[in-house]
Structure 1
Amino acid sequence: MSRRTHPSSGLSRGLHFLIDADWSPQQAFVVFELLSDLRARIWMRYGVALHELICEQLSTPTGADIDDIEGGF
């Protein structure tokens, strides 16, 4: 039985992207570096806006009492 996982973006539809099981460690490293470079360039351009969005998503809901949040301490 296969287990379906969704990306952190929350998207449940879209293009499937398969990673070849026969990649060499060197091939995997090249792709890893490409993604790292892409992430760094996006951060350089949108860092402040991304930081604000991340803080927004991590903050408690407005007007909510900490005791009202499920799983609170």
Structure 2
Amino acid sequence: MKRLDHQPSGITRGLDFLIPDNWSPAQALAVVELIDDLRERIATHYQIPLNKLMREQRAPPDNPHPRDIDDPF
């Protein structure tokens, strides 16, 4: 299985999604517009829970350097 690099989702494993290399510019634009419309519809419907989840996922850990009082090291 080929490794998927640099996905916006951060996913690095899975099935390859092949995009034909012979699309016309108009076909490619139609797909981009479809994806944009889908993203907008999802974001509009789930705006508040999506924003909350993204804030939680991007927030720094509560205590990135916990100290165990019983363990000096």
Q: Distance between the aligned counterparts of 2:4 and 2:64, measured in 1?
A: 33
- Identify the residue that residue 19 of structure 1 maps to in structure 2: 19
Following superposition, the deviation at residue 19 of structure 1 comes to 0.6
1:49 paired with 2:45, answer no
Match runs of 1:1-73 below 5 Å = 4-5=4-5, 7=7, 8-10=9-11, 12-13=13-14, 15-64=15-64
- Larger RCO (CA within 8 A; separation ≥ 6): 2
Residue aligned with 2:13, SS? coil
Higher helix share goes to which structure?
1
Paired residues, what number?
63
Residue aligned with 1:55, SS? helix
- Identify the residue that residue 70 of structure 1 maps to in structure 2: none
Q: What residue identity is the alignment partner of 1:34?
A: L
Instruction: Give ranges in structure 2 of 5+ residues lacking alignment.
Output: 66-73
Cα distance change on mapping 1:4 and 1:12 into 2, 3 Å: closer
Identical counterparts, % of pairs: 41
Q: What residue identity is the alignment partner of 1:16?
A: D
Q: CA RMSD in A?
A: 2.2
